[in-house]
């Protein structure tokens, strides 16, 4: 996912998205942030046997299910939800800063 660093002219600043918000899923954002966090954490302690054989596989299953769900939610969906709940930002349409 590519984001332009130019301000988008909103009162609180922000970024201009390289693609339309209806084409960006929350799943993509989670993956990008996760990759950035892993790149910043050079020391990762290995899991225990219980973690490897029981908790790890369960967590992977939960993450897979969650990511499948997030891949079906776009930024546009979030903006519509914000508008429908009255949580829209200033101006005529909701916008999110990423």
**Contact between 26 and 73 (Cβ < 8 Å):** yes
What global pTM score does this model have?
0.55
- Rounded Cα gap, residues 83 and 98, in angstroms: 18
Residue 22: which residues within 8 A CB-CB, separation 6 or more?
Answer: 74, 75, 76
3-state secondary structure of 3: strand
**pLDDT tens-place string over residues 34-67:** 787 777 666 655 667 877 788 788 889 999 999 9
Average pLDDT, the chain: 76
């Amino acid at each position: 996912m590519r984001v332009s660093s130019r301000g988008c002219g909103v009162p609180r600043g922000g970024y201009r998205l390289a693609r339309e918000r209806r084409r960006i899923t929350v799943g993509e954002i989670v993956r990008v942030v996760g990759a950035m966090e892993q790149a910043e954490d050079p020391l990762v302690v290995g899991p225990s046997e219980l973690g490897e054989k029981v908790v790890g596989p369960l967590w992977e299953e939960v993450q897979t299910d969650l990511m499948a769900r997030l891949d079906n939610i776009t930024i546009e969906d979030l903006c519509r939800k914000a508008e429908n709940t009255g949580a829209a930002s200033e101006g005529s349409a909701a916008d999110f800063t990423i």
